[in-house]
Structure 1
Amino acid sequence: MDSTHTALSDTRRRAAVIFIFVTVLLDMLAFGIVIPVLPHLIEQLAGGGIARAAWWVGVFSTVFAVVQFAFSPVQGALSDRFGRRPVILISNLGLAIDFVILALAPTLWLLFVSRALLGMTAASFTTANAYIADITPKEKRAAAYGMLGGAFGLGFIV
């Protein structure tokens, strides 16, 4: 009975690590996709050439980073209260909503709101790290964090 429980626990932990790996991979993949696309999208919406678009990209990036910085502790508190998985799933939903708005945004302000929304929900990397710490035994934690780093790098490269 005890070995069955341990095998079930290992299977669940493996599934959770794969879930976190895919989440971080998608987050970084999305980040890597937006970097080259956002300036051209802003140029189309704002007009004024690439120099003006570059300025707006700077504004968007700054707002994204500030909002992400502000909401990272909020996501941490929410994940402590409601669990890591629901918070990460809501973060993934925020990413999906952002990409839909990026694809359909007719105005610059809507694109701006979308990036701010993503900043609120994109603080999932800290929650993913906490989730790994929660589900991984101490002796396997370094390997799990290494895999998380691999997902980060692979997603950004792809």
Structure 2
Amino acid sequence: MFGLFGVAMSAASIVGGLGIGTLVDRLGYPTMFIVVAGCYLLVPTTLMLLPRVPVEPAAPPPGRESSAPLAPRIGRAAIVFLVALFVAFTANGAGQLGRSLLMNAREFSAASITSTSVVGALVTLPAPFVLGWLSDRVGRRPILIACTACGAGSLVLLIASRALWHFWIVGMLLALLGVSVSIGPAFIADLVPPARVSAAMSLLQASYFLGSVAGMSALVPVARAIGMPWTLAAAAAVTACGIVLLLFVRRPAAAVTPR
């Protein structure tokens, strides 16, 4: 199930990458924004068509019927993991925006810029299933570390990228970092008690989003201050810190099978 999330994201990147760049080159950005806004409106419309699933509140433990519900505690390991993902996904935000800015500065067409997302998505389309299968055998943490290392490597390569195929490789590496989105939920479920999985999943998605936003938000002002190459190098170093944090994530001793 978690692998399907990654496949859906890759498939969407392929469709969007093939269409958006061509749309911009032929009809301009205003038309593109209108089309994208219409696509976003399809999301709540589709969700409203889904059947409602009643959620029953969990029964309180014996002897606690009259006490207030306990605050969610997801554990130290999960918190370290969430911080590591936030740090790692700054590479995603910095890489995605930095790649587009550098390609635009080198006068690549919009179709060429979006082609990097298409190439990355094509390469990683089967990756969620392969990495999911592999993570069940070698552990989820090594796979997450490898994906994060791809993100750091993409930023280093982006500094020296000149030709289109250079940016394609950057897109592939960033896409491999994105594949961790399909591994992360399984790992966080291993780290937290069953009663805290829902809260942990929410924080997990927030970590992905906030990390990417932080990377994008910091890229331009920092690049103006110290230059784009040094900014990308600093982002790669920050991402490497995420790898170090992942090394300290340990599954609780109560777990049956270590990951």
Q: Matches of residues 33-52 of structure 1 in structure 2 within 5 Å?
A: 33-44=94-105, 47=106, 49=107, 52=109
SS in 1 for 2:126: helix
Distance 1:97 1:35 in 2: 13
Query: Shift in Å at residue 139 of structure 1?
Result: 0.6
Match of 1:55 in 2: 111
Match of 1:123 in 2: 179
Identity over aligned pairs, percent: 28
Amino acid at match of 2:77: A
SS in 1 for 2:162: coil
Consecutive unaligned residues in structure 1, runs of 5 or more: 1-12
Residue among 91, 94, 106 paired with 1:30: 91
SS in 2 for 1:106: coil
Deviations 1:77-113 (A, max 9, x none): 1111100111111111111111100112233212212
Structure holding more helix per residue: 1
When residues 148 and 83 of structure 1 are mapped into structure 2, their CA distance, relative to the original with a 3 A threshold, is same
When residues 15 and 56 of structure 1 are mapped into structure 2, their CA distance, relative to the original with a 3 A threshold, is farther
Amino acid at match of 2:97: P
Q: RMSD of the alignment, in Å? A: 2.1
- Please tell me whether residue 149 in structure 1 is matched to residue 205 in structure 2: yes
Residue among 11, 14, 19 paired with 2:75: 14
Distance 1:37 1:16 in 2: 32
When residues 77 and 125 of structure 1 are mapped into structure 2, their CA distance, relative to the original with a 3 A threshold, is same
Runs of 4+, deviation exceeding 4 Å: none
Distance 1:27 1:73 in 2: 22
Distance 2:149 2:161 in 1: 17
Query: Shift in Å at residue 121 of structure 1?
Result: 4.6
When residues 81 and 155 of structure 1 are mapped into structure 2, their CA distance, relative to the original with a 3 A threshold, is same
Amino acid at match of 2:101: H
Amino acid at match of 2:99: L
Shifted more, 112-121 versus 100-109: the winner is 112-121
Query: Shift in Å at residue 119 of structure 1?
Result: 2.3
- Please tell me whether residue 83 in structure 1 is matched to residue 144 in structure 2: no
TM-score under structure 2 length normalisation: 0.49
TM-score under structure 1 length normalisation: 0.76
Consecutive unaligned residues in structure 2, runs of 5 or more: 1-73, 215-259
